[in-house]
Every structure is written in C-alpha cells, then in structure tokens.
Structure 1
Amino acid sequence: MNEKSYTELMKLGAMKRNRMKENFIQDLYIEMLLSEIQLTVEKEKLQRKIDLAIDRRDKKSFLHLSSELKEINKRFGL
C-alpha cells in the first residue's frame, strides 16, 4: 500500500497551511489593488465633473460635487 508516514503527513499539512496563507495574502493584495483603482477612477470622474461645473459657472453642482469628493477623501483617509 501507499501509506504515508506521520512525518510526511505533517509536512504535507504544513505545506498546505503555507499555501493557504500565501493565497490569502495574494487575494488581499488583489482586493486592495482593485479598491485603489476604483477609488482613483471615481475621483477622476468627480474631478472632471467639478472642472465642468467651474467652466459652466454652476455653483450648485460645484458645491455638491466638491462635497462628494471630500467625503471620498475622508472615507479613504486622504
């Protein structure tokens, strides 16, 4: 039969745990990267809208959009 020794089983278990840790860290990194990209895109869109409101001298839209941008910056600690 192809039975594994206790030592082999312990090594396999340790390797599996290490792989799971590495996968968790990699998934966390990917999630953080995607959040950063999403934040950057959202901020860029708001900046363009704010610039347009300034060009059109639309104070109401400017104030509203600026408030949104402040909230985003506040939410992400910027």
Structure 2
Amino acid sequence: MKDKSYSNLMKSGAMNRMNEKEAFVQNLYIEMILGEIQLRAEKEKLQKRIDTAIDQRNKESFMQLSKQLNELNKRFGS
C-alpha cells in the first residue's frame, strides 16, 4: 500500500472540503430555483382562479382568492 505524504494528505483534505462546499452551494441554489418555480406556479393558479371568479361574477370567491394571493405576495415579497 502506498503511503501518502503529509502535504498530499492536506491537499486531498482541502479538495474534499472544497467539493463539499461546492455541493452545498449547488444544492442550495437548486432548492431556491425549485422554490421559485413552486411560487410562480401557485401565483399563476390563483390568478387563473381569480379570473374565473371575475368571469362568473362571484364576488365571494374573488375576495377569498385575492386575499390568498395578497398573503402569498406578502410572505414572499413579490
């Protein structure tokens, strides 16, 4: 079995830590993108339901769905 020098072991450890950090950042970025996709899909769904309520002149449904959309916008700052 080949023995590694101290400097090779230190370099290997540093590379492993760097790879772990890069993987963490990539996973965080992926989670952010997926969250944004989910938020946009939810907003689009609510907006379509609001449009339907308007078309049907359903004030109660319109008010409820508008409130949900406003709360969603407040929670996510959009």
TM over 0.5: yes
Moved over 3 A (4+): none
Shift of 1:30: 0.2
Tell me the TM-score normalized by structure 2. Answer: 0.98
- For structure 1, which runs of at least 5 residues remain unmatched after alignment? none
1:19 counterpart residue number: 19
Paired residues, number: 78
2:66 maps to which residue? 66
**Residue number in structure 2 paired with 1:35:** 35
Query: Alignment RMSD, CA only?
Result: 0.5
2:57 — aligned with what?
57
Q: TM-score normalized by structure 1?
A: 0.98
Partners in 1 of 2:13 and 2:72 — Cα distance? 43
Shift of 1:70: 0.4
SS of match in other structure, 1:73: helix
